[in-house]
Structure 1
């Protein structure tokens, strides 16, 4: 029980990597706040955690709504007085190419970067009150190397990596560690959106992309969750300001 007695908040916690992280954190003893815009999916995750003997609750929030994020942070502070783990996992695939509408640009920046920045700030006092808090961001290998599909996605995910370094320095004296995970391809419901093609063409593009990965496959969400657990727990007590690629060796090339 590596997270016994911890309070954890996971954004986009009802599907894919966020769901796996929520479930693993709860299995390791944390009380998990599953934040998602999909109320039914969040409720399903919470019900599964509780049925397995864990502790969890759902918070239905659109992360683009800063007022709602502030209310969520205030509620956490009021009820728990601290937050031990903040898993800023929310993100969406970026719109393709350079010919974006302003609305497409704004949506990508709001969800991939702005939401996590502001939520972290709103929760700063709660994180400091923990005395041993961990903040985890989901970046991407597209923040480390260029995305062939979406320059905007690379921009936002690369910005997350820079933010992690700065936050780690700013919060170290208060016992708050800040790190990022940079997944490569992960078998989640959102993966097909990265390939932007018909179902048949998507399968071809997936196969070609996976062939470039030294381990020859995509990650499973549970494999990302295990790295998140490492960063959330005392196993990584002297790790801060870093981004860990979990990409089957892709960026090693």
Structure 2
């Protein structure tokens, strides 16, 4: 039980990498607040956790709504008095190419960057109260080497890497560690959104992209969750301000 009695909050916690993280954190002893805009999916994840003897609750929130995020932070502080793990996992592929609209650009910024920053800000007192908190962001290899599909996505995910370094320095005096994971291709429901093509063409583009990965495949969500567990737990007690690629060797090239 690496997270025994910890309070963990996971955004976009009802699908893909977030779901895998929610389930693993709960299996390791944490009480998990599964934050998602999809009420049905969040409820399903919570039921799966509690049916196995774990502890979790759902919080249905649109992360673009800063008032809702502030309310969530206040609720969690009132319920628990602290947050030990904040997994800022929420993100979207965003509009592809250079011809996106200003509205599409703003949506990408809101979901991929603004939401996680302000939720972290609103939870600062709760994180300080932990005395040993871990904040984890989901960046991307697209923030390290650039995405041929979505410049906006690279912009936001690269910004997360810089944000993590800055926040790690600002929060270290309070015993709060801040790190990021930079996944490569991961087999999640959102993966086809990166390729912006018909189902048949998407499969071709996926195969071509996976062929560039030294390990020759995409990651499974559970493989990302294992790295999140490392960063959430005392196994990484002296790790802060870093971004860990989990990409099958892609960025090593």
Q: Aligned to 1:62, what secondary structure does the other structure show?
A: coil
Distance in 2 separating the partners of 1:165 and 1:146: 19
Q: Aligned to 1:171, what secondary structure does the other structure show?
A: helix
Match of 1:227 in 2: 227
Distance in 1 separating the partners of 2:78 and 2:161: 30
- Structure 1: segments with no counterpart, 5+ residues: none
Distance in 2 separating the partners of 1:198 and 1:40: 27
Normalising by structure 2, we get a TM-score of 1.00
Please list, as runs of the form range in 1=range in 2, the aligned pairs for 1:79-90 lying within 5 A after superposition: 79-90=79-90
Distance in 1 separating the partners of 2:26 and 2:79: 19
Encode CA deviations 1:43-65: one digit per residue, 9 max, x unaligned. Answer: 00000000000000000000000
Q: Aligned to 1:244, what secondary structure does the other structure show?
A: strand
Q: Offset at 1:94? A: 1.9
Q: Offset at 1:162? A: 0.3
Q: Offset at 1:100? A: 1.3
Match of 2:39 in 1: 39
Q: Aligned to 1:45, what secondary structure does the other structure show?
A: helix
Please list, as runs of the form range in 1=range in 2, the aligned pairs for 1:91-110 lying within 5 A after superposition: 91-110=91-110
Distance in 2 separating the partners of 1:191 and 1:100: 19
Q: Offset at 1:99? A: 1.3
Task: Report runs of 4+ in structure 1 exceeding 3 Å deviation.
Answer: none
Encode CA deviations 1:215-245: one digit per residue, 9 max, x unaligned. Answer: 0000000000000000000000000000000
Distance in 2 separating the partners of 1:54 and 1:80: 17
Please list, as runs of the form range in 1=range in 2, the aligned pairs for 1:68-87 lying within 5 A after superposition: 68-87=68-87
* Equivalent pairs, count: 253
Q: Offset at 1:79? A: 1.2
The question of 1:24 aligning with 2:24 is answered yes
> RMSD of aligned C-alpha atoms?
0.4
Distance in 2 separating the partners of 1:88 and 1:241: 15
Please list, as runs of the form range in 1=range in 2, the aligned pairs for 1:1-253 lying within 5 A after superposition: 1-253=1-253
Distance in 2 separating the partners of 1:88 and 1:234: 18
Q: Aligned to 2:145, what secondary structure does the other structure show?
A: coil
Q: Offset at 1:98? A: 1.3
- Structure 2: segments with no counterpart, 5+ residues: none
Bigger shift: residues 128-137 or 95-104: 95-104
